[in-house]
Structure 1
Amino acid sequence: MMNIDVLSIFPEMFEGVLGHSILKKASEKGAVQYNIINFREFANDKHQTVDDYPYGGGAGMVLKPQPIFDAVTYLTEQAKSTPPRVILMCPQGERYTQKKAEQLAQEEHLIFICGHYEGYDERIREHIITDEISIGDYVLTGGELGAMVVIDSVVRLLPGVLGSEQSHLQDSFSTGLLEHPHYTRPADFRGMKVPEVLVSGNHKLIEDWRMKESMRRTLNRRPDLLENANLTDQQKKWLDKLINVNE
């Protein structure tokens, strides 16, 4: 079972997200245990102060090191597994990818630090974290929403969480490409028909069609992904034909 601890001064933000859909089912199945902690509880003054003015002046407030250091130390000492990955949600971190989600899904214990205000005391970044993650090139009010995104993308990859163990293998980015189009019944909806190959019953032709469409969609929408895609010789031939058609 994976243990996920979240340090936030707004723990109530996580109640709705973790209490519904796949994230709730994952907890009920015993695949994951969530622990949301208000790190004000670790502040060492009676006012539970977690932020202060920055040295050198400037706008905004900075999260103090003491409450977060003490909280992470406590959680690490309580851990019964290998040392946790301590993840700082920060717009300066590495851009989050499906590959990173797959990597984190192999861990037993994750600790997320969600900041607010102007930023973190740099000693937090330098001494206690293992990963800095950004979910995009923009700034949010705090790290909570970003942590929810990462948690959702990781938990759905845990064994037994999705209905089928194969469900996530063809997800966009899992293969290095965008996912192929999907269709369901009816086969003819207001004159818009499902591609004939999908109702042919020929699994080899269906597999080939899906791969070609995946490559077509990637070429049209995210051609940058093809630069590092690990393609077979057959896939390279299909890609060449697609490029020639587009030219």
Structure 2
Amino acid sequence: MKIDVLSLFPEMFAGVFGHSILKKASEAGAASYNVVNFREYADNKHQTVDDYPYGGGAGMVLKPQPIFDAVSDIKSKSDANPRVILLCPQGERFTQKKAEELAESEHLIFICGHYEGYDERIREHIVTDEISIGDYVLTGGELGAMVVIDSVVRLLPNVLGNQESHMKDSFSTGMLEHPHYTRPADFRGLKVPDVLTSGNHLHIEQWRQRESLKRTYQRRPDLLEQIDLTDEERNWLEEIKKEQI
């Protein structure tokens, strides 16, 4: 996957792309990163990329020209048809499902804005996806882009050491993930559930499924409204509800 990022602060991405899973993905050839300062595409001698909004109002608005030209230049060098993602508080709420969808793409272009907002023509004529990572406002789109990129790249083939790791992550199954334990089995009197040390893989898997359902019911019951539960899961849910009384 090829990933291009348009940002006025490209140095912010050096640490993120140079460590952990994102670095591993690059070294394995699963992903490549290119961060472009779109100020370089400004067509004026001062490299101005923003201006006052028509009609007045607070703040500055990003001009269309630098971003139009930057995206056009990147596309001209691409063998794919890139998806152009605008990080924006008005965008679609980012989810694991969206991450999985984007992970199927060959080329992604992220636009990170600053100031008051974007000229609407950028949104209308360049962008394929508008994404928000939550109902709050950040200084710019860089942190949001980092979140989305990390979430997407870890889903690419051969990036995680165990390819099944992400398949049972929270939200990948529609529910929150079950609890995890590791050695020692008894830590200061706090013991690991017996089923996990039993060696009975069927019972372990059933325990994990039930605990996943329980955690989702307790912390994000809204997610259960979007899931078709099996008969067994519905029975577990009734038991879990009774346990909470």
In 1, Cα distance between equivalents of 2:99 and 2:238? 31
For these two proteins, the number of residue pairs brought into alignment is 245
2:11 corresponds in structure 1 to 12
Q: Kindly indicate whether residue 171 of structure 2 is the aligned counterpart of residue 162 of structure 1.
A: no
1:93 corresponds in structure 2 to 91
1:22 corresponds in structure 2 to 21
Q: What secondary structure does 1:224 align onto?
A: helix
Question: In the TM superposition, what are the counterparts of 1:16-95 in structure 2 within 5 Å?
Answer: 16-81=15-80, 83-95=81-93
Q: What secondary structure does 1:157 align onto?
A: coil
Question: In the TM superposition, what are the counterparts of 1:124-135 in structure 2 within 5 Å?
Answer: 124-135=122-133
TM-score of the aligned structures, taking structure 2 as reference length: 0.99
Q: CA deviation at 1:143?
A: 0.1
Question: In the TM superposition, what are the counterparts of 1:209-228 in structure 2 within 5 Å?
Answer: 209-228=207-226
Amino acid at match of 1:223: P
Deviations 1:111-137 (A, max 9, x none): 000000000000000111000000000
Q: CA deviation at 1:246?
A: 2.0
Q: CA deviation at 1:237?
A: 1.3
Q: What secondary structure does 1:168 align onto?
A: helix
Structure 2 stretches lacking a partner, 5+ long: none
Q: What secondary structure does 1:34 align onto?
A: strand
Question: In the TM superposition, what are the counterparts of 1:170-189 in structure 2 within 5 Å?
Answer: 170-189=168-187
Q: CA deviation at 1:245?
A: 2.2
In 1, Cα distance between equivalents of 2:230 and 2:21? 34
Q: What secondary structure does 1:158 align onto?
A: coil
Amino acid at match of 2:25: A
In 2, Cα distance between equivalents of 1:213 and 1:234? 13
Structure 1 stretches lacking a partner, 5+ long: none
Instruction: Give the fraction of aligned pairs with identical amino acids, expressed as a percent.
Output: 75
- Aligned residue among 216, 240, 243 for 1:242: 240
Q: What secondary structure does 2:162 align onto?
A: coil
In 1, Cα distance between equivalents of 2:236 and 2:60? 54
Amino acid at match of 1:148: M
Deviations 1:16-68 (A, max 9, x none): 01100000010000000000000011111111110000000011000000000
Q: What secondary structure does 1:198 align onto?
A: helix
Q: What secondary structure does 1:14 align onto?
A: helix
Q: Kindly indicate whether residue 227 of structure 2 is the aligned counterpart of residue 229 of structure 1.
A: yes
Q: Kindly indicate whether residue 142 of structure 2 is the aligned counterpart of residue 147 of structure 1.
A: no
Q: CA deviation at 1:193?
A: 0.3
In 2, Cα distance between equivalents of 1:87 and 1:143? 11
Amino acid at match of 2:112: C
TM-score of the aligned structures, taking structure 1 as reference length: 0.98
Amino acid at match of 1:31: A
Q: CA deviation at 1:234?
A: 1.1
Amino acid at match of 1:87: I
In 1, Cα distance between equivalents of 2:69 and 2:184? 58
Q: What secondary structure does 2:157 align onto?
A: coil
CA RMSD in angstroms, aligned pairs only: 0.6
Q: What secondary structure does 1:226 align onto?
A: helix
